[in-house]
Amino acid sequence: MSTLEELKKKWDQAGYTSPVPLPLDEMALHSLVRSRIKRQNTVIFRHFWATFTLHLLVYALLSHVVVKYWTDTGTLLLGLAGILLTVPLTVTMVRRYSRLAASQTKGAGKVSIHTYVDRRLRLLSGFFTFKKRYEMVLIPLHTVIGGVLTFRLFVPGGMAGSPVFALTAFLLTLLSCFAAVRSENRKSFVEPLGELQTILDEYSE
């Protein structure tokens, strides 16, 4: 149910017949809009902390590989490559979400709700666009690096000794990663962005 529908239902239940909204009604609209913004902020920042934790785990695992096998040039280079490939996404994510957090701290009280929602929509949409494009390259490369390291360190003969198994594992891992990312993008970006756009459209009306 949209904000305007919720407010209209409350007006009808309260018996309002005046075609001109009273100041109290405007305050109710603002309260409903802020409530919906708060719900979307919860979803948005839940994704940030989960993803940031995952990035830290990737850095920790690859750093362990680099330190433990630093005398093995091939393993060392693969570990460093995995770390360096992840850094741009982490940095961009932290910057964009820091701006979102700063915007949230300032709150919608100092600017119009329309301006506040529009700012958050543009920040989140910009990061989502970058994330989708970067992950199209990052996921396959991470899958290759992870697969090569796994076979190199734990499977006798490496990938060359089990090419069919290695290729199958690579394809299954790649497909599962893209499926997981697509699902997460829908919950953490597509739906919140759609909700923010709906709020913006309704508030403009």
Write the pLDDT tens digit of every residue in 138-152.
999 999 999 999 999
What residues contact residue 40 under an 8 Å CB cut-off, 6+ apart?
Answer: 192, 195, 196
Task: Kindly report the number of other CB atoms within 10 A of residue 189's CB atom.
Answer: 20
Task: Kindly report the number of other CB atoms within 10 A of residue 108's CB atom.
Answer: 19
How high is the mean pLDDT of the chain?
83
As a whole-number percent, the residues of the chain with pLDDT over 70 amount to 80
What pLDDT score was predicted for residue 117? 83
pLDDT of residue 20 exceeding 50: no
pTM of the model: 0.77
What pLDDT score was predicted for residue 5? 57
Give, in order, the Cα–Cα distances in Å from 124 to each of 22, 48, 129, 204: 34, 11, 9, 20
CA-to-CA distance for 154 and 59, rounded, in angstroms? 20
CA-to-CA distance for 164 and 145, rounded, in angstroms? 17
What pLDDT score was predicted for residue 22? 41
As a whole-number percent, the residues of the chain with pLDDT over 90 amount to 52
- Domain residue limits, the chain: 21-204
Instruction: Give the pLDDT band (50/70/90) at residue 200.
Output: confident
The answer to whether the CB of 126 falls within 8 A of the CB of 96 is yes
Instruction: Give the pLDDT band (50/70/90) at residue 12.
Output: low
Instruction: Give the pLDDT band (50/70/90) at residue 106.
Output: low
CA-to-CA distance for 135 and 142, rounded, in angstroms? 10
Q: Could you give the residue ranges of the DSSP H alpha helices within the chain? A: 3-14, 23-68, 73-106, 113-154, 158-161, 163-185, 191-204
